[in-house]
Structure 1
Amino acid sequence: MENMLKKVFFGLFVVAIAACGSTPRVNLDAEAGALQPTPHHAVIAKDVVGLFESVSYKKVPLNDSISSIIFDNLIASIDKGKNYLMQADIDGFEQYRNTLAGDFRNGDLSAAYHIFNVYMKRYLDRLDYALDQVDAPHDFTIDEVYVYNREKAGWFVSEAEANEQWRKRVKYDLLNLKLSGDGSDSAAVKQRETLRNRYKNLISMAKKTDSNEAFQVIMAALTDAIDPHTSYFNPYFAQRFNEEMANTFEGIGARLTMENEVVKVADIIVGGPVYREKALNIDDRIIGVAQGEDGEFEDIIGWKLDHAVAKIKGPKGTVVRLKVIPVGQELTAEPKIVSLTRDKVVIEEESAKREVKEVIGDDGKTYRVGIISLPKFYIDFEAYRRNDPNYKSTTRDVRLLLDSLKQEEVDAVVMDLRFNGGGSLQESIELTGLFIDKGPVVQVRDTRNRVEVNSDEDGGVAWDGPLGVIINRFSASASEIFAGAIQDYGRGVVLGSQSYGKGTVQSAIDMSRVISPTDRLLLKAQSANKDGAVPVGAPQFGQINITLAKFYRVTGSSTQHRGVEPDIVFPSMYSAEKYGESSEPSALPWDQISATDYAPVADLKPLIAELAKKHEVRMEKSPAYKFLLEDIELVAKQESETSVTLHEDKLKKEREANRLKSKTRTDALEQMRINLPGGGGAATNVEEGLDFIQEESLAVMADYVALLNKK
């Protein structure tokens, strides 16, 4: 029966390809155990190409040059480090270099899947070899080197060359474990067992790779060739993306992970059903799932994590029952049955947070500065569309935080947007409105070159006092809209380093809206062969987040490529050559349009000039600033290194020297923290310990308040 179904579904796939006007370029049926695209995948690929060529902002025709980029992207995405594929494999793939784009247009994914399948075979071959090498003799007194970064090296030309690389890889893994042990024979046995289990786990996970996962990788190679911010998400990833945007999801309120083929509780989310009912503990293992009060249990041992999660999550108000092996008990123990009513869970750690710090200014006075840390611009779109009065959003949360800071009578407010990758365009506009009265915030130009001005329409402000905005190289998109508007209006001072430079706008399109009725009928016949569970509420065919517009500041300048330049500039560890929009080959260029009719709140240029002078004087005397410059130099040095010694004594000496240097740094930073108002506690490095960028930004804000008071 199973073989018959396989033949039927392969026949449907051929019909799907025929409907697209082509036949498979590669006969995947001839490859034993090969992953194969489904008719769903063929239709989705064809329709995504159609979107690129008709409605996307770039409207790029998929020609031979684009095909070559897709080819290179696919190879890089599966084996960028050149640790698995052979030169002979690459030579064999070259026949597809200039044809992949046309294949995608025709819905023929056979060549792309063939490349992926060869990679998976090589991956498993390498791990099998590594597993054998765990118990082989390794001499740690030999002066040899392991090259861990092979990006600039050639592909393996022989099995012997690949084996030699992986012999050293295993030796390096064992040496790392050995240096963390006590040197005893029993420790050595345990270390080998640890590494053996690590490789077995990787092999087990690799063997669970399914057609949908391959499709996700292949589609990323396509979308990245056109635009770095257009992405196709399969149903599972689409649901996860939308939940992250909303900062909410419906389920039991636990983060799950996989360990030794068993689903394990990794974290419990405060306020969720598990937390409220104290039903589970971290490291509990879930071995079975049943729906409702009397549904039958399904054994989920050995399942892929996303499939298991799809069974455990579900709509608010529904019941799920779990078979649980409590932490500390053997898997053979009698499981306990836990019944939970699913609910809406708010991810608070991803929400805006506030704190108040005291800063002693150069004038000797103590100033209180409120800091609002914002990881992303979020909004629960579904609740918003339903007119839910309690829908969660960035602006609503920040307004409440500002109210509380005003009650505490802070002298200034700082919005910390470091590492904020953006999110909702609507929220960036509304958040700006908390700090300006009324007026344009951002301009959006669509695919027809029509420009729409998006404005804050609400009168009044939530905070009219001194304002600072901290950004870094990973502040992107909505963060740049907000920071740029605050800067252009003269509403506050922007501090930090140049932002990411993402000046494009994406719209999420449910692929079911794109697929034609004819294709939908075809896919309906194939629905019984879905490769993996589709989570409840997820788009059945996934979704594409596609670039449909470009945004510009009220001055008319695009943030694309250039980002936002701070008023007070700090050195950055993250170079523009390696990080940010300017490092993306397929990114749109910078350009400019006409300015809007906006009225700046103030001209802060004279004040910023004074703040910059005071900042520079402090930097000349600051040990933390010196540490930051040393860190930047160290990061650059580490990024240029590609190998490590496998000589035990040499590696010990290197690590001991690094440990002593780190301890000296830690002690100095800890003392600096203790000397700060309200300071104390250990520090590990400039950005994560003392957080020099934030501390100096607060000092700048103290100067800001003092200068305003003087004037």
Structure 2
Amino acid sequence: MKKNFALALLIMLVAVASCSFTNKSFENDDKDKLLLDLIAYVLEKGHYEPKDIDDDFSVNIFEDFIDVLDPTKRYFLEQDIIEFEKYKFQIDDQIKNTDISFFNLVHQRLMKRMGDAKEIYKKVLDQPFDYSRDETINIKYDNQAFADSKKDLTERWRKQLKYATLGTYDGKLTNQKKKKEEDPSAEILSKEEIELASRESTRNTLDEFFDFIDDLERKDWFVQYINTIVDEFDPHTFYFAPEDRERFDISMSGKFEGIGARLQKKPEGAKIVEIISGGPVWRDQQLEVGDEIIKVGQEGGTPVDIVGMRLDDAIKMIKGPKGTIVDLTVRKVDGSTQVISLTRDVVELEESYAKSANIIKGDQKFGLINLPKFYVDFDDYSERNAATDVAKEVERLKQEGIEGLVLDLRDNGGGSLKTVVEMSGLFIKDGPIVQVRSSGKNKEVYDDKDERIQWDGPLVILVNELSASASEILAAAMQDYKRAVVIGSKQTFGKGTVQNVIPLDNIVRSNEHGDLGAIKLTTQKFYRINGGSTQLEGVKSDVVVPDRYSYIDLGERDQQNPLAWDKISPADYQVWDGYIDYEQTIANSERRMAGNSQISLIEENAKWLKVQQDEVIVSLNYRDYKNKELAVKKKSDYFKSLSDYDSKLTFESLKYEQELFTKDSILREKRDRWHKNLAKDVYVEEAVNVLQDLKINNIKPTKLASVKG
């Protein structure tokens, strides 16, 4: 369906554009203006909710582009911003007239200021840092003013470089102390020598950073300008330059070499927002969602500071060929700093597939299916896909005699719409699953038309803040039907939009400029069968259970310019009336969770992490810094007891999988590790409790109550 819609949209755009662009005359060397014109056209004609390109839009572009180029405010001066402001209300007119004067001025000035910055950082790093001095730095840069003089700018660089060097200084000092403790006769460096070595390390980092910047071409900066415009429409609409389009195609196929994590640009570094199952990060288990990468080094080489670097450029440094090592300096969720070395690899697709386990509690057996994503081969649906695989796992679990089923959609970022509809149909007789609306058109209702119910027993769905898109559709449908009890975070991610990739070359006739890249465009919106959108609000769990991300900004609401929540008319559907005490079961679960000591500790940890993330004033005094580090470590160690939890549940692989272990020891190791983690999982434990409350003998003969839209 998604592919058909993309084709229809492309045909529509081409039909209209053939009149627009064939009559426009651009100089052969003015590809930038053609690209700007194309992007503006596609956004106006194809976006689900096109914005008015007016003065308000112009102000947003003005502020966001400068913020993208200089997030730590260590290049531009206040006088530059004042000069740029003559364009503050004109960018909308420039977009309409394919004028790039604003970009040209800002880009030229940035190149000059970066040249000035090279002199400043070298001058600053020629002088020792006094770590006994009582001073602080505010690391929340977005609310700070630009420096009003070169003197003020130099002072800003001094503080930022002292902050960047402080962790290195501490690490070298600690290593010297350990060396002396292990061998009292060993010669160690003085504090002055350590301080000098730390500054030199920072100097090498900046030298490499600016070497990297010098390699960028004007077109690289213009792509950033285009994406600043595109990003005003919504966070999922994005322009791919030709080389980026190729990387996107590779990532969509699921075959790419890197560390296996999705990143989001933040002023303080590159924030990890998703960990891909089977990748190096997933296997290593040291990094987690919410961690921020601040430096990147190549196999023991000098690390490069990526704070303030464009996200695309930072990713280029992090990715690399299979077997090579990348050293990541990371600010952890709890505020501590670590260097984590990872061996790049091809992400293992197998770990993105559905897998299942038996859960043994006393004399009862329950089933659990973990689904990391809604995968599908769009070119050949008969190939392996999530719906077919889950159906197989359900059947296998039934044969093993389970009395209830847990479907784990935590950290599932979504995928194919078709698989969601088919998968939902495994648990209901028939009926609508999701509603989809395109801009200016009537809604379409996607139904399960197969009257067979593969699993009619108790069902629990686990979600968290990172369950997104297709995961939210399935959880919402089962919740609206009252078919399952949804347990998890206060709400899921909140991505209720659909994107399609449109190659720009297909829109322009007689293109003399080469590959123009593509745009990933938001074209449709999802709605629950009850009429409410999953956009922003996500799915609210029936039983809300805190986790360590409960108070941290994650999800669609933390993105820039998300589309709003809205509501349409409900679909015609019939509520599952198979449970006797559905509402009482939810009340019982809430009561258990309120009195659970493990949940209380998780809640305490979540609140502490929020406090750590909200601290933006950092001491540059070494004594204070060290005391803070020790306090953080002590508290972190206190929360490590969370991983000691034992649910007293037993997890076993299914018979068919156990037979594979004799030939595949790696598979056995993966499953053993998974089962070990499940046994510590309080959320799975509670899911089993809910299944017991909804146990087989507490289910009525299927009765359906009608709900009319």
When normalised by structure 1's length, the TM-score is: 0.71
In structure 1, which of residues 625, 640, 647 is the aligned counterpart of residue 599 of structure 2?
A: 625
Residue 591 of structure 2: aligned partner? 616
Change (3 A) 1:55 1:670: closer
SS of residue paired to 1:544? strand
SS of residue paired to 1:69? helix
8 Å contact kept, 1:22–1:108: no
8 Å contact kept, 1:500–1:581: yes
Residue 167 of structure 1: aligned partner? 158
Following superposition, the deviation at residue 44 of structure 1 comes to 2.4
8 Å contact kept, 1:232–1:544: yes
Change (3 A) 1:59 1:652: closer
Change (3 A) 1:589 1:78: same
The Cα RMSD (Å) is 4.2
Amino acid across the alignment from 1:473: E
**Separation in structure 2 between the aligned mates of residue 428 and residue 370 of structure 1, nearest angstrom:** 18
1:665 aligns with 2:657: no
**Separation in structure 1 between the aligned mates of residue 260 and residue 631 of structure 2, nearest angstrom:** 38
Residue 45 of structure 1: aligned partner? 36
**Separation in structure 2 between the aligned mates of residue 348 and residue 176 of structure 1, nearest angstrom:** 37
Please list, as runs of the form range in 1=range in 2, the aligned pairs for 1:200-349 lying within 5 A after superposition.
200-248=207-255, 347-348=348-349
1:80 aligns with 2:74: no
Following superposition, the deviation at residue 133 of structure 1 comes to 3.4
Percent identity for Structure 1 against Structure 2: 29
**Separation in structure 2 between the aligned mates of residue 325 and residue 446 of structure 1, nearest angstrom:** 44
**Separation in structure 2 between the aligned mates of residue 582 and residue 672 of structure 1, nearest angstrom:** 32
Residue 653 of structure 1: aligned partner? 627
**Separation in structure 2 between the aligned mates of residue 646 and residue 17 of structure 1, nearest angstrom:** 56
Following superposition, the deviation at residue 372 of structure 1 comes to 0.5
8 Å contact kept, 1:352–1:398: no
SS of residue paired to 2:405? strand
For this pair of structures, how many residues does the alignment match? 579
**Separation in structure 2 between the aligned mates of residue 453 and residue 172 of structure 1, nearest angstrom:** 55
Please list, as runs of the form range in 1=range in 2, the aligned pairs for 1:394-473 lying within 5 A after superposition.
394-406=386-398, 408-473=400-465
SS of residue paired to 2:251? helix
8 Å contact kept, 2:365–2:401: no
SS of residue paired to 2:60? helix
Amino acid across the alignment from 1:701: V
8 Å contact kept, 2:551–2:610: no
SS of residue paired to 2:163? helix
8 Å contact kept, 1:502–1:561: yes
**Separation in structure 1 between the aligned mates of residue 449 and residue 570 of structure 2, nearest angstrom:** 19
**Separation in structure 2 between the aligned mates of residue 446 and residue 693 of structure 1, nearest angstrom:** 44
8 Å contact kept, 1:433–1:461: yes
Change (3 A) 1:254 1:145: closer
8 Å contact kept, 1:414–1:467: yes
Q: Deviations over 1:452-498 (max 9, x none)?
A: 11123445355444322222233222222111112112221111121
**Separation in structure 1 between the aligned mates of residue 197 and residue 400 of structure 2, nearest angstrom:** 55
Following superposition, the deviation at residue 370 of structure 1 comes to 1.4
8 Å contact kept, 2:543–2:589: no
Q: Deviations over 1:532-551 (max 9, x none)?
A: xxxxxxxx322212222222
Following superposition, the deviation at residue 94 of structure 1 comes to 0.9
Please list, as runs of the form range in 1=range in 2, the aligned pairs for 1:529-548 lying within 5 A after superposition.
540-548=515-523
Change (3 A) 1:125 1:468: farther
1:130 aligns with 2:121: yes
Amino acid across the alignment from 1:179: D
**Separation in structure 1 between the aligned mates of residue 21 and residue 433 of structure 2, nearest angstrom:** 47
Amino acid across the alignment from 1:243: I
8 Å contact kept, 1:358–1:678: yes
8 Å contact kept, 1:247–1:351: no
**Separation in structure 2 between the aligned mates of residue 38 and residue 56 of structure 1, nearest angstrom:** 29
Residue 554 of structure 1: aligned partner? 529
SS of residue paired to 1:418? coil
Residue 690 of structure 2: aligned partner? 703
In structure 2, which of residues 616, 641, 651 is the aligned counterpart of residue 642 of structure 1?
A: 616
SS of residue paired to 2:618? strand
SS of residue paired to 1:415? strand
Change (3 A) 1:469 1:658: same
8 Å contact kept, 2:258–2:321: no
Change (3 A) 1:228 1:22: same
8 Å contact kept, 1:233–1:543: yes
Amino acid across the alignment from 1:229: H
**Separation in structure 2 between the aligned mates of residue 511 and residue 678 of structure 1, nearest angstrom:** 51
Change (3 A) 1:693 1:212: farther
Moved more, 545-554 or 701-710: 701-710
**Separation in structure 1 between the aligned mates of residue 400 and residue 604 of structure 2, nearest angstrom:** 38
Following superposition, the deviation at residue 158 of structure 1 comes to 1.3
8 Å contact kept, 1:83–1:150: no
Residue 368 of structure 2: aligned partner? 370
Residue 503 of structure 1: aligned partner? 496
SS of residue paired to 2:167? helix
Q: Deviations over 1:288-310 (max 9, x none)?
A: xxxxxxxxxxxxxxxx9999999
**Separation in structure 2 between the aligned mates of residue 480 and residue 460 of structure 1, nearest angstrom:** 23
Amino acid across the alignment from 1:609: Q
SS of residue paired to 1:470? strand
Following superposition, the deviation at residue 704 of structure 1 comes to 1.9
Q: Deviations over 1:544-595 (max 9, x none)?
A: 1222222211122222232211111123665799444445574333332222
8 Å contact kept, 1:142–1:647: yes
8 Å contact kept, 2:260–2:347: no
Residue 90 of structure 1: aligned partner? 81
Following superposition, the deviation at residue 638 of structure 1 comes to 2.5
Change (3 A) 1:131 1:554: same
Amino acid across the alignment from 2:425: G
**Separation in structure 2 between the aligned mates of residue 256 and residue 588 of structure 1, nearest angstrom:** 28
8 Å contact kept, 1:567–1:608: no
SS of residue paired to 1:487? helix
**Separation in structure 1 between the aligned mates of residue 56 and residue 108 of structure 2, nearest angstrom:** 24
**Separation in structure 2 between the aligned mates of residue 641 and residue 308 of structure 1, nearest angstrom:** 29
8 Å contact kept, 1:500–1:561: yes
**Separation in structure 2 between the aligned mates of residue 236 and residue 630 of structure 1, nearest angstrom:** 45
Residue 154 of structure 1: aligned partner? 145
Residue 379 of structure 1: aligned partner? 376
Residue 535 of structure 1: aligned partner? none
Residue 587 of structure 1: aligned partner? 562
Amino acid across the alignment from 1:636: K
**Separation in structure 1 between the aligned mates of residue 133 and residue 207 of structure 2, nearest angstrom:** 28
Change (3 A) 1:142 1:380: same
Residue 672 of structure 2: aligned partner? none
Change (3 A) 1:310 1:495: closer
SS of residue paired to 2:576? coil
Q: Deviations over 1:34-77 (max 9, x none)?
A: xxx96333222212211222232223331222112222221222
Residue 55 of structure 1: aligned partner? 46
Amino acid across the alignment from 2:638: T
SS of residue paired to 2:573? coil
8 Å contact kept, 1:359–1:702: no
**Separation in structure 2 between the aligned mates of residue 575 and residue 116 of structure 1, nearest angstrom:** 40
When normalised by structure 2's length, the TM-score is: 0.72
1:565 aligns with 2:522: no
Change (3 A) 1:137 1:605: farther
Following superposition, the deviation at residue 202 of structure 1 comes to 1.2
Q: Deviations over 1:483-531 (max 9, x none)?
A: 111211222111112123222222221112222x15x1x42xxx4xxxx
In structure 1, which of residues 173, 196, 204 is the aligned counterpart of residue 203 of structure 2?
A: 196
Residue 512 of structure 1: aligned partner? 505
Following superposition, the deviation at residue 368 of structure 1 comes to 3.8
Following superposition, the deviation at residue 212 of structure 1 comes to 3.9
**Separation in structure 1 between the aligned mates of residue 427 and residue 563 of structure 2, nearest angstrom:** 31
**Separation in structure 2 between the aligned mates of residue 64 and residue 248 of structure 1, nearest angstrom:** 43
